[in-house]
Amino acid sequence: MIDAVSFSKVSRHFGSIKAVDAIDLNVRAGEFFAMLGPSGSGKTTCLRLIAGFEQPTRGHIEIFGETAEGVSPYRRNVNTVFQDYALFPHMNVEDNVAYSLMIKGVGKTERRRAAVEALQLVQLPGYGPRRPGQLSGGQRQRVALARALIGKPKVLLLDEPLGALDLKLREQMQEELKALQKKLGITFVFVTHDQGEALSMADRVAVFNEGRIMQVGAPQDIYRRPRSRFVANFVGSSNILPPEFLQACGGPAAWASLRPEDVNLVAAEGHEAILIGRSYLGGMTRLALSVGPQRLSALVPSSSPLPDDGAAVRVDWNADDIHIMEDET
């Protein structure tokens, strides 16, 4: 099957800034693909390269098997939902949604029919006559989505589309976007710096750092088997265990990651530790522990009985939960 997007050694440099640096990337047709990374890691530049708003300094891009270089954005069968929605304030919702059809010369009756259908899809039926200024942030986001979907793109690019929404609405939109993507079967490429969002929504995630991709995989792979310290730290929180510690615990002399939820308080055996402090997180409580010189974080149900800070405790974990990392960077 042809990939929706393929990058071969693609770079985009701005003078001395290597925004994207020799990236190889394949986005499969029909998948929900997330680009995750800290600010300035090159995610948006990658998206702009796919959209055609940027050209690579080096390398080659294909979209559904066709060379993308030199093809203008509007001929790529790709559309973008921008973080700030970029709606025209003087046009009503229907005209905003149908804008690309108007540019293509589609007649008014057909435009209206398509806009009504697109607004239905994003659960805003009847909102056509309103102006963007008369909508909530979440509704504007849906209008931007309808506008991007009306041209039936093969790839939809979403640049932090939920960034401006409050937590509750964000979670609702995450569900809706995922359901919409499955229903339409369009390839979604979603940029976010929120690891929870990437893990919960995507079929596969690419983790970016400094213009490079550190790891690509299914959310469970990225979380359970981070390849590097950077990925282990960026995707969820993790205990990064140095080789000396692991060796002292009977393991190999290598860097490893151990997730806080895999560190258990035990009554007997295990490792001697001191409970240094705690943070209440609602259902769970995060414990700060020290095992000799090594600090460890553990996540335990808040309902479990806990000794006072400063108490001597015992901790343990399953050998399977220790993940040895290939790359110590």
Given candidates 26, 29, 30, 40, which one binds ligand ATP under the rule CB under 6 A?
40
Whose Cβ is closer to ligand ATP: residue 76's or residue 193's?
Answer: 193
Stretch that binds ligand ATP, among 32-40, 113-121, 167-175, 242-250 (CB under 6 A): 32-40
Whose Cβ is closer to ligand ATP: residue 96's or residue 209's?
Answer: 209
User: CA-CA-CA-CA torsion for 160, 161, 165, 170, nearest 10 degrees?
Assistant: -90
Q: Does residue number 17 form part of the binding site for ligand ATP (CB under 6 A)? A: yes
Q: Does residue number 161 form part of the binding site for ligand ATP (CB under 6 A)? A: no
Whose Cβ is closer to ligand ATP: residue 98's or residue 158's?
Answer: 158
Whose Cβ is closer to ligand ATP: residue 19's or residue 63's?
Answer: 19
Q: Does residue number 42 form part of the binding site for ligand ATP (CB under 6 A)? A: yes
Order of strands across the sheet with 58-63? 17-27, 5-14, 58-63, 66-67
Length of the chain: 329
Rg of the chain taking only CA atoms, in angstroms: 24
Given candidates 37, 52, 138, 219, which one binds ligand ATP under the rule CB under 6 A?
37
Q: How far is the CB of 260 from ligand ATP (least distance, A)?
A: 26
The structure tokens 């393991």 sit at: 251
Whose Cβ is closer to ligand ATP: residue 44's or residue 195's?
Answer: 44
Whose Cβ is closer to ligand ATP: residue 118's or residue 191's?
Answer: 191
Q: Residues in contact with ligand ATP, total (CB under 6 A)? A: 12
**Residues between 180 and 199 that touch ligand ATP (CB under 6 A):** 193
Q: Does residue number 56 form part of the binding site for ligand ATP (CB under 6 A)? A: no
Q: Does residue number 45 form part of the binding site for ligand ATP (CB under 6 A)? A: yes
> 312-316 and 294-301: which strand pairing?
unpaired
**Residues between 286 and 325 that touch ligand ATP (CB under 6 A):** none
Q: Does residue number 11 form part of the binding site for ligand ATP (CB under 6 A)? A: no
Given candidates 6, 11, 44, 80, which one binds ligand ATP under the rule CB under 6 A?
44
Whose Cβ is closer to ligand ATP: residue 56's or residue 151's?
Answer: 56
Q: How far is the CB of 19 from ligand ATP (least distance, A)?
A: 3
Stretch that binds ligand ATP, among 13-21, 65-73, 98-106, 257-265 (CB under 6 A): 13-21
Q: Does residue number 206 form part of the binding site for ligand ATP (CB under 6 A)? A: no
**Which residue ranges make up the site for ligand ATP (CB under 6 A)?**
14, 17, 19, 37, 39-45, 193
